[in-house]
Amino acid sequence: MRIGAAYYPEPGDRAARTRDIALMQAAGLNSVRMGDLIWDQLEPEDGVFTLEWLQETVAELGQAGIATFLATPTASIPLWLHRQHPDVMHLTAAGVRKPFGKRRHACLRHPEYRHRSLRIAERMAAAFRDSPDIIAVQTDNELMAEEPHCYCAYCQQAFATWLEQRYGTVDRLNTAWGLGFWSQRVRSFSDIFLPQKGDNPSAYVNFLAWASEVAVEFHAAQRAVFKQALPQVPVTHNICSSGFLYLLDHYRLGQACDVMAIDNYPYGWTLENEYGNRGAFTFSPHMTSLALAQVRGGRPGQPFLVAEAQIGRTCGNQRKIVEPRMVRLWSVQEVAQGACGIWFFPFLPFAAGHEHVMAAVLDGDRIPRRRSAEVCQIAAETASLRQVTGNALPVARACILRDFRCDWAFEDGRFCADFRPMRHLHQWYRAVRRLGIGCDVVAPHQELSGYDLILVPALVLVDDTVCAALEAAAARGATIVLTCLTGLRDPDVRSFGPLVHPRLADLAGIAFMEQHPLFAAEDTALRWNLDDTAQRCGLWHDVVTPVAAEVLAVYASRFFAGTPVITRRQGLPGTVYHVGSILSDEAIAAVIDQACGNAAVRAPAVSSHDQMELTEVVGAAGRFVYALNFSETEQPIQFLVPAADASSGEPVGSEMRIPARDFRLFRLVN
Amino acid sequence: MRIGAAYYPEPGDRAARTRDIALMQAAGLNSVRMGDLIWDQLEPEDGVFTLEWLQETVAELGQAGIATFLATPTASIPLWLHRQHPDVMHLTAAGVRKPFGKRRHACLRHPEYRHRSLRIAERMAAAFRDSPDIIAVQTDNELMAEEPHCYCAYCQQAFATWLEQRYGTVDRLNTAWGLGFWSQRVRSFSDIFLPQKGDNPSAYVNFLAWASEVAVEFHAAQRAVFKQALPQVPVTHNICSSGFLYLLDHYRLGQACDVMAIDNYPYGWTLENEYGNRGAFTFSPHMTSLALAQVRGGRPGQPFLVAEAQIGRTCGNQRKIVEPRMVRLWSVQEVAQGACGIWFFPFLPFAAGHEHVMAAVLDGDRIPRRRSAEVCQIAAETASLRQVTGNALPVARACILRDFRCDWAFEDGRFCADFRPMRHLHQWYRAVRRLGIGCDVVAPHQELSGYDLILVPALVLVDDTVCAALEAAAARGATIVLTCLTGLRDPDVRSFGPLVHPRLADLAGIAFMEQHPLFAAEDTALRWNLDDTAQRCGLWHDVVTPVAAEVLAVYASRFFAGTPVITRRQGLPGTVYHVGSILSDEAIAAVIDQACGNAAVRAPAVSSHDQMELTEVVGAAGRFVYALNFSETEQPIQFLVPAADASSGEPVGSEMRIPARDFRLFRLVN
Amino acid sequence: MRIGAAYYPEPGDRAARTRDIALMQAAGLNSVRMGDLIWDQLEPEDGVFTLEWLQETVAELGQAGIATFLATPTASIPLWLHRQHPDVMHLTAAGVRKPFGKRRHACLRHPEYRHRSLRIAERMAAAFRDSPDIIAVQTDNELMAEEPHCYCAYCQQAFATWLEQRYGTVDRLNTAWGLGFWSQRVRSFSDIFLPQKGDNPSAYVNFLAWASEVAVEFHAAQRAVFKQALPQVPVTHNICSSGFLYLLDHYRLGQACDVMAIDNYPYGWTLENEYGNRGAFTFSPHMTSLALAQVRGGRPGQPFLVAEAQIGRTCGNQRKIVEPRMVRLWSVQEVAQGACGIWFFPFLPFAAGHEHVMAAVLDGDRIPRRRSAEVCQIAAETASLRQVTGNALPVARACILRDFRCDWAFEDGRFCADFRPMRHLHQWYRAVRRLGIGCDVVAPHQELSGYDLILVPALVLVDDTVCAALEAAAARGATIVLTCLTGLRDPDVRSFGPLVHPRLADLAGIAFMEQHPLFAAEDTALRWNLDDTAQRCGLWHDVVTPVAAEVLAVYASRFFAGTPVITRRQGLPGTVYHVGSILSDEAIAAVIDQACGNAAVRAPAVSSHDQMELTEVVGAAGRFVYALNFSETEQPIQFLVPAADASSGEPVGSEMRIPARDFRLFRLVN
């Protein structure tokens, strides 16, 4: 288990470095992450390299037992590159060159930038070719964060070439994108404009897909450099924003990584931020574990790294204060979800500059206080946990299908202006996790045979392969939950003719008659047939007719009152639910409850509190349950299978109590 | 009666066309609207025309009894024109060329665009010169919608020329616009900048007026082409946004049309949208009829076309779901207000592209469902209605004066930041219509002699001609209601010296002492002298002294409490009300009630429900009352004159009940 | 005492001028302010001057006993200058040249603009060299208002030069600004970019400081011209926005003025506006007096001018109606705070143009009504007041430290996104003033020896000089209140290492352990140790340990509950309070109450109503108390020292009643 922190030493200050290393040891760290965002300290002039100080630092750290997680600095260009080639800066959609002064503002397609990015990566790879102290390499930093889209001529040309490879002829593209109406047909691929939000939906989705590919390719080129020089060292890239960054396709990135990595700021960059909500923020541990599960889904079945972990306040607006023991709980949660390394950000605060208000492991006076003590405890405890559980990873017989292309298709708001796909996905994920059941997040084209419960929330773009995979899952007995807004268009955002792909309608055993979006300020009544319970739904309303499905709940208001909102088809031999509207949490819980029953998916232990997270993991060392209590009071959990204390091996009773803001690890006995 | 839909066939797909025509016949359609927004299907390369497929389509439709409402495609330029002349695109006020990718983004003043716009119009006119199947022609599409103002050099020059014609000398302009303060005097007309919102108010109002004129002139040039080739075919232009588009002067457009046309989306583009309100949306049938009355006011006494009619969800945010039978009610309402043709938009949904989420008469699978059945019923019923009523049009002895220049003068918010002129106009229109009384919307310079009740809401810019017309109306016994913010400035937004034009103050019999705008978050108490009833007013407060008027209501809060807010002058022999503040709906209803009494304007039938609309129409076939019930419950109406069922001729009692979401037509007997 | 108004005569209209002068005399005016914003009336072509009409006007006014306050017109460039040199216009941060059409949009650094600005100033100075009628000169108009920052090449170069003077070497700058992280180090001063909000915090603060200096220097150059030609005439500049303009350093401006001047719009441009609040606006007389005190602080101990005074509605959104007698009360408040001249804006309304809705002393028909009668009364009364009190100025044994650089450091929101420094300062100022105690606003580096109570609210940037001054004050027995967010960074926004400057922590007798910002939607409980009273705090939370201080109040919620939020160190021999959070008004009142006790600062008279303002002034003529009642009801005040009616000399009892919306002046007897 690697526990570390980001470290930005002053190149020339050896005394400070030696002192800092002693402080790291005192804090229990066995690793540092170095190199990101400091390009001009490594190449102060074009082609003039000064890597010696970094080599010395790595070596001195290594001698102190502290390994280095090396990062390339290419997310922040030096001023000399900007001065030499002002057009490396992003051209915004409005046609304005971004000024120098922030970061992530160089065009990934610009040849001068790419050339120098690769060159500094090569120099770093060469400098550490024989170093035993490098345990992993991160390319760049948080690709696709911070308004990443560029509209320069290089991008224009690259996009055209990419489209030509995708479509072959402009006729195919013109038809796929529906360019006839509004008179926008292209005569050659070079005619294609770089679309903005609100432009042709097919063009925009393809633009976002291409931009994600460009970032993956940029990463892959740097990775190739390191794989040649340090073939044993895993190369990764740190995904921004707790996994809620949706502009970078995690699955495509995963294919180009040896290991996944995430920057995890549970209070700082959350699902709520993503939508600009300025209201009060209620922390949900499941929101954090969703982010971790998403990143893990980039390379299924493998552990991942937390390249940056929140240690306190961040630069943005603080909607919650990081309480004592929360960092410890997040760390254990990361380990439970599959992290094998955690680097807090940063070790020391920045005296000035962009991130000068960011809290660090130590304060600027380097006096150890509460946060460093907590880190010290985390280092010891996570090491112990990994000793007990070995390489155990979360067990999941349930999964959620997520395709980033669908996020992009929702981006322009045309389907339903107030609908937010990640919020919807989180609603369903949370409902499963509150039952103590493990849940993966996977791409629709990944292998689904291991899953007995497959949730398909608003998978708006589908193709025949996805339909076939779901049909196959149903045929082998799996339970599938399709929610509204699934299967409306093909991957080019083109209609199938019928409102929903006919194979999905058939699979659900229903016929789609009408579809009605609605804005968030209004909602609709829903009534369960079984017990007449009333709930609310809204935002989208499928009006369907059952063909081979039973009706579980109906709309109870509006002109379609009495028609089905939730249906179930059984005996395929699998079961397929269809949910025709965006439900309340309570209604989702009711669906999940039934669907888990159909799928015979059960948790080994349960809790009724929404600030509890129970995670079952399995590995060569056995089966375990992490019970994390994020609440401020002691919470009971119930075991449904025999369990023992993981350290002592003592059997535990059917009910155990987890102290406030604390956790326990149990071994399952069977 | 023409009932049709917009149709966008694939040029080469004859089989689909034949199948679609059969579907149109099944849906009861006798017309289609074709040609808009498909320029590059008609001219795929500069000067290369492919109109044969359209000719064939028109002919095949004609053989099936379906006439064509032809539209020119010039609202969406082909990519080849953009590539050849990138500067045809609008230059925004911020100095940015709009990128290709939307529509309506070419400069109407650009010679290359105008040349090719006229040329395609000429080709279409030539192609259909002998066609008996063309029943009307629409130029372009929704002029002045979608951020229409351009700031390019062509516009700059054209504006200067227009101003020179208007003012003659720069001295006159400098004085009229008050350019001395802030040191902005021009020395020649070529000095004039294109103003933005917030610039000199006189300049801005003139800029908006000029831009509207440019659009009218652009339309007129295309119309001239068609009038030469197809002299019998009426030429029109479809006004966007349910008539609430205020950037195009409807009256000036009307002078250049043979018939008016509106795109009517009662749930999609409403008075509420106009002001960006995201709260819940309460539909008012009078809001819709106001839009229709406004468009009808462009050519008083003539029927008009509904070039696009809402059939279901649109592309924007959905604040209400279109319920069954609403489309039918809107159609009957359109007929009642004077429509002689309705084209739903569109017949088939777009498989992809900008409008792919727009609901159509049929779904993409072409299976007839609820919406097409409703269209079929509408086609039959509106034909019957027109058979009974003939060319009857709404009767109106009341009118509202609206001058688009006043809308433009309010645009910069200087008079009163939170005041919205169309909302104010709607308040007064609705108060009249709720009494079952017909109300026209007319320009101040139109003939007013037919009106006994003249409402003048916030007519902020006036000239002596308007004053004289109102004086004449009072002299012949009419009742006039002047509301606050009327007569403050001349058409150049220049003060008369006194707070209000002295002739209007004299007409009202009051002296203006002070004027106090206030923001919307606060309001003021009002008290009726007659019965001490208390109500609210706000936004603007005229403080006046009665000279020859009696005081009906006074302010009851603030420092001017006790001074008049509503006055009445009688015995001119007409009556003049003055309302010095923005009233609540209740207070407006009280004023209207009295004013109708003074004017002896009465409805033939009344209802107390605000979702009812009663419309009296008259023509060679007699006098009729349409009773439309938009509510979800049965509603009673009371007849004040003898009436009969319009179909059977059977006399009806003094009270009739109109079923929920339904309508009845009655013949008035006398 | 000068009472006047802004006057913008038509150059050629002598008859109007003569008539206007008579109206001024009737309104009791003895001065006009002329010349601002009319450049092209004085120089209609480049180098062609027409000042004769202005000379004539000044002379004719002078003969009528009306002196002129002359202003230079340079805030609005003529169109000819724009046409000759389009690049005089501001280049925005987005790289767009501002279009002509507003004002204040020329770059103060542009040589062509500066050359012509100086030239017109020289011509005006020459024209009035021998004039006895000029009593003061104002340079330009409201510098640094209306988005004043320019990003052109001239600014770029000037900023670089200024930084080179400040730092000497780029190494010093790179270190001070923390440019290593994010790879932004410069190699030469010419490398420096002009920063925007959100860029490097050190760069941004220095940019704002430089821009303020540029404005001061621009003013100073014009002043030098006038000091040479009219050495006896005081030169000033009118600070915009009631003193809440924070982009212009009032202290630096003060050093370059002979007298300070403010444009005072108590309902029009307020502390609330500054933060874009659109909610209801509660007027506080202390908000207005704070603005006046701030401007007075630019030249401590001297009277100042009110170059523009609100007379009625302004151009912006009206959140309150100016009630009768409020203008009179504001005028007396201005005199009480030290004004020796007041010019209402404007005398006559503008018939058209940018400010055509602005209320004036007279209406456009020139008929005297309520506002001109009130002005007439003000002229008489303020003259009488000055006759009684002579040159008396407010007494203040309390002061608030304000450093504009701190405002600029808070501007980017990094410290605490929802914190507003002026709102915080106003909270503390108001708490003192509500007790009837005088309070100055002074720069931290000004002489503090006269103050017994020194408030230091959120003085985020400090240096050793400030620390020493506070230590010295404590050593001489003064009472100091430090609030949170004080002393966090040096003037370059660079950390001292510890969370707070160690000398300030020592002074307060506490150790800083943690700091927690929080957004405005949440707050925290606070409990007073003395009586267990509960209150609220929020936005920022210092977590401290007492070292040599007693704990007055503790946090009562969150994980740091029970730790000190308010501490007091006594016996230095002075007393130092530290307040670790943003308190409610009630909690601030409690602190101020105690601190005033420690400092033995007492008011001569008190009132319990928050719409009352009591101001003690002192001068050669004696000691006086102004009692202003802004409320709508009579209010009692209590005298703590013997007092007499200022006019009659009659002793008054210990309680006096001030009529609603009225004032009284008392002489203190001792």
What's residue B243's pLDDT?
A: 61
Band (pLDDT 50/70/90 cuts) for residue B348 is: very high
Structure tokens at B367: 């299976």
Q: What is the dihedral of CA A161, A163, A169, A171, to 10 degrees?
A: -140
What's the rounded Cα separation, in Å, for the pair B422 and B457? 10
Q: What is the pLDDT of residue A282?
A: 86
Start-to-end CA span in chain B (Å): 28
Report CB contact under 8 Å: A519, B317: yes
The predicted-structure confidence for C163-197, as pLDDT tens digits, reads as follows 999 999 999 999 999 999 899 999 999 999 999 99
Give the closest residue to B244 by CA, choosing from B36, B489, B397, B420. Answer: B420
Q: What is the mean pLDDT of residues C26-53?
A: 97
Torsion of CA A273, A277, A278, A279, to 10 degrees: -120
The pLDDT score that the predictor gives to residue C268 is: 85
d(CA A146, CA A75): 11
Mutate to test the interface with C, among A34, A98, A318, A347 (most CBs of C within 10 A): A318
Of C95, C193, C513, the CB nearest to A369: C513
What distance in Å separates the CA atoms of residue C555 and residue C534, rounded to the nearest whole number? 10
Measured in degrees and rounded to the nearest 5, phi and psi for residue B134 equal: -90, 115
* C300-335 pLDDT tens trace: 999 999 999 999 999 888 999 999 999 999 999 999
The pair of structure tokens assigned to C276 is 């874009």
Q: Looking at the partner chain, which of B187, B493, B513 has a beta carbon nearest the beta carbon of C356?
A: B493
pLDDT at A592 over 90: yes
Question: What does the pLDDT read at residue C472?
Answer: 98
Residues on chain B touching C79 (C-beta within 8 angstroms): 183-187, 191
A641 touches chain B (CB under 8 A): no
CB-based contact, A357 to chain C, within 8 Å: yes
**A280 interface with C at CB cutoff 8 Å:** yes
What is the DSSP code string of B205-231? HHHHHHHHHHHHHHHHHHHHHHHHHST
- Say whether C178 and A369 touch across the interface (CB within 8 A): no
ipTM over 0.85: yes
Chains that touch A (3 or more CB pairs under 8 A): B, C
Chain A CB within 8 Å of residue B313 CB:
yes
Task: Show residues of chain B in contact with C280, CB under 8 Å.
Answer: 521-522
Nearest to B83 among A191, A493, A498 (CB): A191
User: What is the Cα gyration radius of chain B?
Assistant: 26
According to the model, what pLDDT value does residue A277 have?
A: 58
B10, A203: Cβ pair inside 8 Å?
Answer: no
Tell whether A197 lies on the interface with B, counting CB pairs under 8 A. Answer: no
Task: Spell out which residues of chain B touch residue A541, defining contact as CB-CB under 8 Å.
Answer: 321
Residue C273 has pLDDT above 90, yes or no: no
Q: Which amino acid is at A325?
A: R
Which alpha helices (DSSP H) does C27-85 contain, by range? Answer: 39-42, 52-63, 79-84
Tell me which residue of A88, A151, A152 sits closest to A117, measured CA to CA.
A88
Strand order in the sheet with C635-639: C605-606, C635-639, C655-658
What pLDDT is stored for residue A316 in this prediction? 83
Instruction: State whether A518 and B318 contact (CB < 8 Å).
Output: yes
Contact B417 C316 (CB under 8 A): yes
Confidence at residue B280, expressed as pLDDT on a 0 to 100 scale:
72
Report CB contact under 8 Å: A317, C559. Answer: no
Residues A333-358 have a mean pLDDT of: 97
> What are the distances in angstroms from CA B223 to CA A249, A393, B236, B255, B259?
52, 73, 8, 12, 12
Q: Which residues pair with C643 in a beta bridge?
A: C652, C668
Q: Which amino acid is at A603?
A: A
Distance in angstroms (rounded) separating the CA atoms of residues A284 and A287:
5
How far apart are the C-alpha atoms of A664 and A658, rounded to whole Å? 7
pLDDT at position C549 is 98
CB contact under 8 A, B73 and A178: no
* Interchain contact B79–A (C-beta under 8 A): yes
Q: Is B608 exposed, middle or buried (0-12, 13-18, 19+ CB in 10 A)?
A: exposed
What's at B38, amino acid-wise? Answer: I
User: What does the pLDDT look like over B87-108, one tens digit per residue?
Assistant: 999 999 988 899 998 999 999 9
Nearest to A364 among C495, C513, C522 (CB): C495
Quote the CA–CA distance of B420 and B410 in Å, as a whole number.
Answer: 8
Q: How many CB atoms lie within 10 A of CB A499?
A: 22
* Spatial separation of the C-alpha atoms in residues C305 and C70, rounded to whole Å: 13
Chain C residues whose beta carbon lies within 8 Å of the beta carbon of residue B182: 37, 76, 102-103, 353-354
- Distance of alpha carbon A364 from alpha carbon A371, whole angstroms: 13
- The arithmetic mean of pLDDT across residues B61-87, rounded, is 97
Among C423, C403, C406, CA closest to C585: C423
Please judge whether A79 and C185 are an interchain contact, meaning their C-beta atoms are less than 8 angstroms apart.
Answer: yes
What average pLDDT does range A422-434 have in this prediction? 96
Distance CA A28, CA A24 (A): 6
B102/A199 touch (CB, cutoff 8 Å), yes or no: yes
pLDDT band at B278, cuts 50/70/90? low
Q: Is A48 on the interface with C (CB under 8 A)?
A: no
Q: Three-state secondary structure along B20-32?
A: HHHHHHHCCCCEE
What CA–CA distances, in Å, run from A437 to A79, A396, A605? 51, 7, 9
DSSP C14: H
Question: Cβ contact (<8 Å) for A321 and C181?
Answer: no
C414 vs A contacts (CB less than 8 Å): 315, 356-357
Q: Verify whether the Cβ–Cβ distance A201 to B356 is below 8 Å.
A: yes
The set of residues, in sequence order, having a beta carbon less than 8 Å from that of B367 and lying 6+ positions away, is none
Chains that touch C (3 or more CB pairs under 8 A): A, B
CB pairs under 8 A between A and C: 147
Q: Convert the pLDDT of each residue in C524-568 to its tens digit.
A: 999 999 999 999 999 999 999 999 999 999 999 999 999 999 999
CB < 8 Å to C495, chain A:
349, 351-352, 356, 364
C-alpha distance from B560 to closest chain A C-alpha (Å): 40
Per-residue pLDDT tens for C277-300? 567 788 999 999 999 999 999 999
Of residues B178, B415, B514, nearest to C351 (C-beta): B178
What mean pLDDT is predicted for residues A446-455? 97
- Could you read off the pLDDT of C451-487 as tens digits, one per residue? 999 999 999 999 999 999 999 999 999 999 999 999 9
Q: Is C292 on the interface with A (CB under 8 A)?
A: no
**What's the pTM?**
0.96
Contact of B95 with chain A, judged by CB distance below 8 Å, is answered with no
Q: What is the mean pLDDT of chain C?
A: 96
Task: Measure the CA–CA gap between A239 and A513, rounded to whole angstroms.
Answer: 41
Preferred mutation among A7, A356, A361 to probe C, highest tally of C CBs within 10 A: A356
**Nearest by CB: B324 against A179, A187, A559:** A559
In C265-379, the DSSP E strands lie at 304-310, 339-345
C188 contact A CB<8A: no
Q: Does A558 touch chain B (CB under 8 A)?
A: yes
Instruction: Give one DSSP letter per residue of C599-638, joined into a string.
Output: HT---SEE---TTEEEEEEEETTEEEEEEEE-SSS-EEEE
Cβ proximity of C85 and C113 under 8 Å: yes
Least confident residue range of B579-588, C77-86, C270-279, C513-522? C270-279
DSSP state letter for C243: G
CB contact under 8 A, A370 and C514: yes
Q: Please classify residue C181 by burial: count the beta carbons closer than 10 Å to its beta carbon, then call 0-12 exposed, 13-18 middle and 19+ buried.
A: buried
pLDDT given for residue B28 in this prediction: 96
pLDDT band with cut points at 50, 70 and 90 for residue A281:
confident
Query: Residue C419, SS3?
Result: coil
Q: Which of A207-211, B639-643, C208-212, C314-318 has the lowest mean pLDDT?
A: C314-318
Sign of the alpha-carbon torsion through C161, C167, C172, C174: negative
3-state secondary structure of B484: coil
The percentage of residues in chain B with a pLDDT greater than 90, rounded to a whole number, is 94
Q: Taking 80 as the threshold, does the pLDDT of residue B274 lie above it?
A: no
**Lowest-pLDDT range of A232-246, B13-27, C388-402:** A232-246
Q: Establish if A369 touches chain C: CB-CB under 8 angstroms.
A: yes
B272 has pLDDT over 90 = no
Please report residues of A whose CB lies closer than 8 A to that of B353: 177-182, 184, 200-202
The three-point CA angle B248-B251-B252 to 5° equals 70
* pLDDT level of residue B244 (50, 70, 90 thresholds): confident
Q: How far is B96 from chain C (nearest CA, A)?
A: 9
Contact B3, B386 (CB under 8 A): no
Distances in Å between the alpha carbon of A388 and those of A105, A647, A665, C251, C596?
A: 45, 7, 9, 66, 63
**B235 pLDDT higher than 80:** yes
Chain B and chain C share a number of CB contacts under 8 A equal to: 146
pLDDT value, residue B282: 86
A416–B318 C-beta distance less than 8 A: yes
**Angle C2-C4-C9 from CA coordinates, rounded to 5°:** 145
Residue C481 has a pLDDT of 98
The band of B268, judged by pLDDT with boundaries at 50, 70 and 90, is: confident
Contact C94 A96 (CB under 8 A): yes
Best A20, A40, A103 member to test C by mutation, with max C CBs in 10 Å, is A40
pLDDT band at residue C43 using 50, 70 and 90 as cut-offs: very high
Where helices occur in A297-325 by DSSP H, the ranges are none
- Amino acid A244: pLDDT: 78
B185/C78 Cβ within 8 A: yes
Question: Are the C-beta atoms of residues C588 and C308 closer than 8 Å to each other?
Answer: no
pLDDT at C243: 62
pLDDT of residue A22: 98
First-last CA distance in chain C? 28
Q: In the prediction, which pLDDT does B670 show?
A: 73
* Amino acid C271: pLDDT: 78
Residue A513: its chain B contacts at CB < 8 A? 369-370
**pLDDT mean over A560-583:** 98
Q: Can you tell me whether residue B553 is helix, strand or coil?
A: strand
The answer to whether the Cβ–Cβ distance between C516 and A313 falls below 8 Å is yes
Asked if residue B276 has pLDDT above 60, the reply is no
> Given this model, what pLDDT does residue A547 score?
98
- Rounded Cα–Cα distance for residues B244 and B236 (Å): 18
| Cis bond upstream, residue C421 (ω within 30) | no
Residues in CB range of B259: below 8 A, 6 or more apart: B136, B234, B235, B236, B299, B302, B303, B304, B305
Residue B146: pLDDT band with limits 50, 70, 90: confident
Report d(CA C212, CA C204) in Å as an integer.
Answer: 12
